[in-house]
């Protein structure tokens, strides 16, 4: 037993040194990617079903490739939940570049039509919107980038006269 003790100590020492280098191997954290909703395209607007295409841009400020796996999102128009869901789409954004992807959404605003009509009574009035979600990144180990964007839309910009 006394002969195996130095060997056991040496093995433990090498194991701890090896684990320590694994922890510090990644170094400083890379800057977080930025996610922007750049366009909302109306695909079809019917009474009980509305289809939109959300256009997103992902900016990679880091020095290595960024693998994007998908997006979980919630979109509010005022206090009204417009849509929520998940979209899985794998692509790579090169370092110091931007990548674009589209998310198709389908919703039924009929149950909330009264609230929506009230918001649209004054077409030049600004309506606040909120986009919340998580962008899933990483090739082997998932990393989640939380996103929250607030802004306003003017209904008259989307209504054909």
Question: pTM for the whole thing?
Answer: 0.70
3-state secondary structure the chain: CCCHHHHHHHHHHHHHHHHHHHHHHCCCCCCCCEEEEEEEEEEEECCCCEEEEEEEEEEECCCCCEEEEEEEEEEEECCEEEEEEEEEEEEEECCCEEEEEEEEEEECCHHHHHHHHHHHCCCCCEEEEEEEEEEEECCCCCEEEEEEEEEEEEHHHCCCC
Instruction: Tell me the per-residue pLDDT of 36-72, one tens digit each, with 9 for 90 and over.
Output: 888 878 888 888 888 888 888 999 999 999 999 999 9
Range 106-119 average pLDDT: 80
13/146: higher pLDDT: 146
Mean pLDDT, the chain, as a whole number?
80
């Amino acid at each position: 037993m006394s002969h195996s003790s130095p060997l056991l100590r040496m093995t433990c020492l090498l194991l701890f040194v090896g684990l320590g280098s694994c922890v510090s191997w990644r170094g400083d954290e890379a800057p977080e990617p930025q996610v922007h909703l750049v366009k909302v395209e109306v695909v079809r607007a019917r009474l009980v079903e509305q289809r939109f295409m959300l256009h997103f841009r992902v900016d990679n400020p880091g020095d290595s490739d960024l693998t994007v796996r998908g997006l979980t999102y919630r979109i509010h128009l005022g206090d009204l939940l417009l849509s929520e869901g998940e979209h899985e789409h794998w692509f790579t954004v090169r370092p110091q570049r931007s990548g674009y992807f589209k998310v198709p959404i389908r919703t039924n605003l009929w149950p909330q039509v009264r609230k929506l009509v009230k918001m649209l009574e004054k077409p030049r009035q600004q309506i606040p919107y909120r986009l919340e979600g998580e962008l899933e990144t990483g090739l082997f180990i998932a990393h989640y980038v939380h996103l929250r964007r607030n802004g306003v839309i003017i209904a008259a910009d989307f209504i054909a006269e």
